[in-house]
């Protein structure tokens, strides 16, 4: 309850954590094997533009910066304290932080409630609250907010993107960040929740739902302490952007393991799942889903174009499930079959083309193309052949596809240029027709070697989500269709 | 029927294709955008040690080699002809090949049965048979046999490994090859089946089941023309090595798409699936499964150690399903929960540790480790802590785990050294106890950044399969357990 009141009293409190002007790393270390070294190094390497103060009782110099012997010794205002000292020293640090007027603290150190030291954790949080300090953790992997260049976490992720990753598992969050960095799509934020002694996933969903750098909220949690508030905040957040959640513990053994990990009652998975479905939170079944669904939802223009809640398949309020029609175009016959299978399993329609559309396509394409849905452009296709086919289908009378899946199953040069242009064409057609948002384009690039990797990066830079297999692409389309 | 007789008459006929002393590329081109260029270049770049003859009506020089104006002009014996000329020219090439005593042909060119030119395809195959030439294709993406350095295909894959990929989709096969190359595990072969006018998947399963370089056979097919012989050959192959199959077309729409692609009757998916299960063929549900299952099965020592068929969970003959017990050790609590969930869903047991084992582990591990199954070694773990824990569990009275899943959820250096040593320890313990093969070790490396990538490569070089998410690792363990 106290956390709730505090959140209402100080709605901007989290800005101290994500948009600080100055950061102290309490427990900074010159030893490269220590977390206190990694954190300081990543803040510096991440390009944080504010002032950075290492704090270490030995003083001296760390990574080229003067280290102060205590937080109190820092000769400047400190907005954020990142704390990496042993648990028993944390209450003392919090006292100093309070006296210094620190606004936020990220406690990376473990040794609190997760090992039975509930009293120590309570002491730290009570001190923080008495000073109005918001706390992430303890026992966490830190925070990263790329727009501030603030990587007070690991691994080092610097690329700015639209995904805010909030995770009760440091590892799962780190994995998403790494994939996003590797693929060039980046993240807006990564927050490792740890013990959630003060700030929890609900506060953060609320915060990032208002964050202009965030386009999708990606959540890994093992439980939530206030299911009703969680759903209320998600319902509100969904009016602005999609929320995707992975919550393990669906089996009896998994639930018990979750209880051991977080020491909180995990609650019924079925109840949580049903509530998410009702509110419109997208439910991921795997870590790959969490990433893939977030990526697809982040890139779609249909959420904002349709005015947010209620008008999108995933907003969940509609009751009756609206149909969702997918056209599949591929250079790889096999991938087209796989995609069709998965679409059927996910409840995404792959309707036949009209006779008139088939005739138009036959006239526009080489005779060896297999004209149907899925449309097999065959292995000799150019990127331009996709453009011809999509344009013909999208402009045909009686065709109203919600999405086009383009499978590039060979090293097809210039695919990214064509896809970017095609996206513009579809948007123009949609705005001229006035029939609502343009259909989505989702791509799969598979078996394309170095060309494929390069083209994938380019396509995603142009705002089209690309997946490495037809199955993953179609599941992500299932998320766009509100099927998860 | 003719294909069957021929296969029996000339059981070694496929050696001309995979182990030729000399190769002619008929339709070789100096234009880098042409397939006839890519093929010649990949054969040269792949390090093929035999003689290579470009054939092109214009003669001249291609990629530094003298080009001959026709196959007949090549002043040497030719074992393998790789044919990239337009379809209508193929019968003539086949005549020349016959006169020259060529043993095998790979017809990459399309324009045959897949576009309705059944007569042309028949003509080519009849000519080939009259000369005793075995044919791969037509309309395919070529072949690669890494032990010969023969990449008459694309992309260029040169790393030698144990996976023989046989695929009716060039793209799916290429994807598996790429992943295996990227991860450093390599392939023994890639064969793109194309129209299967002569050599089909059955001939190739048989061939690679006897190939000493192949440890697992990975198959993508959309149908098989002789289900009974397919199962008979698989049953025999499984006495030597595992066979994994991905066959799409499980939905009505998918089945229709498959029929369009291969122009053959796909048959009932359920019947095929049930037959595979009965014979002991491992059934992949996705392209990722096909790769992951193949990798896990390739690295296990339990197949040969237990004398092949009948004694392994996946050989399928046992009738009653044997239990399969998994111990999960992790630095990431969340990944442990996810792994436990997936194991339960796959029918892999994650049994509790005995009280005595728990006590031994409590004595051997730091107090903040969460001692249960899954065993959470926590984020500060060293690689050595895994070794301590696995050794304690494996040597404990009353524990008889079939596999250990080691989840490395952070950049943990030296994990590969420890895992390699641990593998040896478990093998020693098993051979001393005489209780059968050692338990398998499977790893997941997630969120480990550059250290993770490096350690993944090293672990796989040491013969331990590593997966990028806990879900994929546990599904692969499900394949080891015979659950797919």
pLDDT 10s digits, B235-256: 999 999 999 999 999 999 998 8
User: Given a cut of 90, is residue A381 above it in pLDDT?
Assistant: yes
Q: Considering only alpha carbons, which residue of chain B is nearest residue A372? A: B257
Question: In sequence order, what E strands does B131-289 have?
Answer: 134-136, 142-145, 150-153, 160-167, 187-192, 216-220, 243-246, 282-284
- Looking at B209-213, B223-227, B286-290, B422-426, which range is the least confident one? B223-227
Please indicate if any CB of chain B lies within 8 Å of the CB of A406.
Answer: no
| Residue B346: predicted pLDDT | 94
| Residue A263: predicted pLDDT | 61
CB contact under 8 A, A340 and B253: yes
Whether residue B155 is preceded by a cis peptide bond, meaning omega within 30 degrees of 0, is: yes
Residue among A168, A368, A380 whose CB faces B334 most closely: A168
Orientation angle between helical segments A470-480 and B287-299, nearest 10 degrees: 140
User: Given a cut of 50, is residue B391 above it in pLDDT?
Assistant: yes
With beta carbons under 8 A apart, name residues in chain A contacting B345: 250-251
User: Given a cut of 50, is residue A236 above it in pLDDT?
Assistant: yes
- Looking at A10-24, A183-197, B382-396, which range is the least confident one? A10-24
**Portion of chain B with pLDDT greater than 70, in percent:** 92
With beta carbons under 8 A apart, name residues in chain A contacting B253: 340-341, 343-344, 350
Q: How many CA atoms lie within 13 A of B395 on its CB side?
A: 14
CB contact under 8 A, B334 and A174: no
d(C-alpha A139, C-alpha A110), whole Å? 4
| Residue B9: predicted pLDDT | 36
Q: What is the pLDDT averaged over residues B363-375? A: 96
CB contact under 8 A, B222 and A334: yes
User: Given a cut of 50, is residue B305 above it in pLDDT?
Assistant: no
**Portion of chain A with pLDDT greater than 90, in percent:** 84
d(C-alpha B467, C-alpha B404), whole Å? 14
d(C-alpha B102, C-alpha B71), whole Å? 10
pTM for this predicted structure: 0.94
| Residue A321: predicted pLDDT | 64
Helical spans, DSSP H, in A136-226: 170-182, 201-209
User: Given a cut of 90, is residue A314 above it in pLDDT?
Assistant: no
Please indicate if any CB of chain B lies within 8 Å of the CB of A86.
Answer: no
Residue B180 to residues A71, A326, B295, B465, Cα–Cα distance (Å) = 51, 31, 9, 12
Q: Tell me the pLDDT band of B321, cut-offs 50, 70 and 90.
A: low
Show Cβ contacts of residue B262 under 8 Å, excluding neighbours closer than 6 positions: A333, B168, B222, B223
Q: How many CA atoms lie within 13 A of B133 on its CB side?
A: 32
User: Given a cut of 80, is residue B319 above it in pLDDT?
Assistant: no
| CA distance from start to end of chain B | 32
Show Cβ contacts of residue B247 under 8 Å, excluding neighbours closer than 6 positions: B220, B221, B222, B223, B269, B272, B273, B283
| Residue A433: predicted pLDDT | 86
**CA angle at A77 for the pair A12 and A88, rounded to the nearest 5°:** 85
Which residue, among B42, B254, B468, would best test binding to A if mutated, counting the most A CBs under 10 Å from its CB?
B254
CB contact under 8 A, B334 and A222: yes
Residue among A169, A368, A411 whose CB faces B334 most closely: A169
| Structure tokens, A224 | 């939530």
Parallel/antiparallel/unpaired status of strands B142-145 and B150-153: antiparallel
Q: Considering only alpha carbons, which residue of chain B is nearest residue A469? A: B287
User: Given a cut of 50, is residue B233 above it in pLDDT?
Assistant: yes
The model's pLDDT over A413-430, given as tens digits with 9 standing for 90+, comes to 899 999 999 999 999 999
Q: Tell me the pLDDT band of A302, cut-offs 50, 70 and 90.
A: confident
CB contact under 8 A, A341 and B249: yes
User: Given a cut of 60, is residue B165 above it in pLDDT?
Assistant: yes
Q: Which of residues 443-462 of B touch A (CB under 8 A)?
A: 446-447, 449
| Residue A30: predicted pLDDT | 97
d(C-alpha A369, C-alpha A373), whole Å? 12
CB contact under 8 A, A446 and B169: no
CB-based contact A159:A186 (threshold 8 Å)? yes
Q: What is the pLDDT averaged over residues A133-158? A: 97
Q: Which of residues 176-205 of B touch A (CB under 8 A)?
A: 178
Complex ipTM > 0.85: yes
Parallel/antiparallel/unpaired status of strands B61-62 and B65-66: antiparallel
List the beta bridge partners of residue B23: B52, B80
Please indicate if any CB of chain B lies within 8 Å of the CB of A75.
Answer: no
| Residue B433: predicted pLDDT | 86
CA dihedral B467, B472, B477, B482 (to 10 degrees): -140
User: Given a cut of 70, is residue A238 above it in pLDDT?
Assistant: yes
The model's pLDDT over A253-283, given as tens digits with 9 standing for 90+, comes to 998 888 877 665 556 888 899 999 999 999 9
Q: What is the pLDDT averaged over residues A366-386? A: 95
Q: Which of residues 10-69 of B touch A (CB under 8 A)?
A: none
Average model confidence (pLDDT) across chain B? 91
User: Given a cut of 90, is residue B320 above it in pLDDT?
Assistant: no
Which DSSP letter does residue B152 get?
E
| Residue B318: predicted pLDDT | 44
CB contact under 8 A, A155 and B248: no
The model's pLDDT over B436-476, given as tens digits with 9 standing for 90+, comes to 889 999 999 999 988 899 999 999 999 999 999 999 999 99
């Amino acid at each position: 309850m106290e956390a709730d009141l505090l959140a209402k009293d100080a709605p901007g409190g989290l800005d101290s954590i994500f948009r600080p002007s100055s950061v102290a790393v309490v427990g900074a270390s010159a030893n490269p094997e220590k977390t206190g070294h990694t954190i300081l190094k990543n803040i510096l390497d991440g390009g944080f533009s504010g002032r950075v103060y290492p704090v270490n009782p030995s003083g001296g110099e760390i990574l080229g910066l003067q280290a102060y012997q205590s937080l109190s010794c820092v000769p400047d205002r400190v907005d954020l304290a990142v704390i990496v000292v042993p648990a028993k020293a944390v209450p003392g640090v919090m006292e100093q932080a309070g006296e210094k007027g620190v606004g936020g603290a990220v406690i990376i150190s473990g040794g609190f409630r997760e090992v039975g030291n509930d009293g120590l954790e309570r002491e730290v949080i009570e001190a923080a609250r008495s000073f109005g300090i918001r706390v992430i953790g303890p026992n966490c992997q830190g925070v990263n907010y790329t727009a501030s260049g603030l990587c007070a976490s690991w691994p080092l992720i610097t690329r700015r993107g639209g995904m805010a990753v909030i995770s009760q598992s440091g590892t799962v969050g780190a994995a998403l960040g790494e994939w996003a960095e590797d693929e060039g799509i980046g993240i807006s934020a990564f927050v490792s929740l740890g013990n959630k002694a003060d700030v929890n996933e609900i506060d953060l969903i609320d915060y990032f739902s208002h964050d202009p750098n965030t386009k999708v909220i990606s959540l890994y949690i093992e439980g939530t302490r206030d299911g009703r508030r969680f759903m209320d905040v998600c319902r509100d957040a969904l009016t602005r952007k999609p929320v995707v959640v992975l919550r393990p513990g669906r089996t009896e053994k998994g639930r018990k393991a979750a209880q051991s990990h977080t020491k909180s009652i995990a609650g019924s998975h079925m109840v949580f799942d049903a509530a998410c479905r009702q509110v419109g939170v997208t439910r991921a079944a795997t870590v790959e889903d969490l990433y893939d669904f977030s990526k697809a939802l982040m890139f779609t223009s249909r959420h904002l174009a349709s005015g947010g809640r209620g008008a999108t398949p995933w907003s969940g309020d509609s009751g009756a499930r609206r149909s969702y029609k997918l056209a599949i175009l591929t250079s790889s016959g096999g991938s087209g079959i796989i995609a069709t299978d998965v679409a059927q399993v996910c409840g995404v329609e792959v309707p036949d083309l009209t006779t008139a559309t088939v005739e138009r396509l036959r006239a526009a394409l080489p005779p060896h193309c297999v004209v149907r849905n899925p449309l097999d452009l065959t292995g000799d296709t150019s990127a331009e052949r996709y453009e011809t086919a999509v344009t013909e289908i999208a402009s045909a009378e009686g065709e109203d596809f919600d999405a086009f899946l383009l499978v590039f199953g060979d090293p097809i040069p210039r695919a990214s240029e064509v896809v970017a242009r095609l996206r513009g064409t579809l948007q123009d057609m949609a705005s001229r027709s006035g029939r609502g948002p343009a259909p989505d384009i989702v791509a799969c690039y598979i078996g394309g070697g170095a060309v494929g990797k390069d083209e994938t990066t380019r396509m995603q830079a142009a705002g089209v989500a690309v997946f490495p297999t037809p199955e993953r692409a179609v599941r992500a389309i299932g998320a766009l269709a509100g099927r998860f």
